[in-house]
């Protein structure tokens, strides 16, 4: 009986360790919690851009990785680029904004 408990404990520890390591982040891959945070940030940035009447939100793509927001797409003016970057920077959780937007 004692031997089977040790065996089950060893399996439990191995599974727990494997799942914890599997969810850990690396420099190029996010952990599960970071992915959820980045998804929330992306949603907040998209909503903020959508709520800005001077911007056409369908033309601006938003991606987030570890708090860094990347904006891409084609916009009508440099003023639109500046406004989108400013709006994204104003969202809580955004650590920086990478601008890959281009003029039409």
CATH code for position 87? 3.30.1340.30
- For residue 57, name the pLDDT band (cuts at 50, 70, 90): confident
34: pLDDT strictly greater than 80: no
Establish if 52 belongs to a structural domain: yes
Establish if 48 belongs to a structural domain: yes
Query: CA dihedral defined by 39, 44, 46, 47, rounded to 10 degrees?
Result: 140
| Residue span of the structural domain in which 84 resides | 32-104
Establish if 23 belongs to a structural domain: no
63: pLDDT strictly greater than 80: yes
* Cα separation, 83 vs 52, whole angstroms: 9
Establish if 73 belongs to a structural domain: yes
Establish if 9 belongs to a structural domain: no
Establish if 3 belongs to a structural domain: no
Of 15 and 21, the one with more pLDDT: 15
100: pLDDT strictly greater than 70: yes
Instruction: Please give the tally of structural domains in the chain.
Output: 1
pLDDT of amino acid 3: 62
pLDDT of amino acid 17: 46
Burial class from Cβ neighbours inside 10 Å (0-12, 13-18, 19+) for residue 52 reads middle
Establish if 2 belongs to a structural domain: no
Establish if 13 belongs to a structural domain: no
Region 82-88 average pLDDT: 97
- For residue 94, name the pLDDT band (cuts at 50, 70, 90): very high
Of 56 and 27, the one with more pLDDT: 56
pTM, whole model, 2 decimals?
Answer: 0.68
């Amino acid at each position: 009986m004692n031997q089977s408990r040790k065996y089950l404990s060893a399996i439990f520890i191995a599974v727990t360790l494997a799942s914890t390591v599997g969810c850990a982040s690396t420099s190029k891959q996010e952990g599960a919690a970071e992915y959820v945070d980045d998804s929330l940030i992306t949603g907040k940035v998209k909503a903020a851009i959508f709520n800005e009447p001077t911007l056409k939100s369908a033309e601006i793509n938003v991606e987030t990785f570890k708090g860094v927001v990347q904006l891409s797409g084609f916009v009508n003016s440099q003023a639109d680029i500046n406004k989108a970057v400013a709006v994204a920077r104003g969202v809580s959780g955004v650590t920086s904004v990478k601008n890959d937007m281009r003029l039409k």
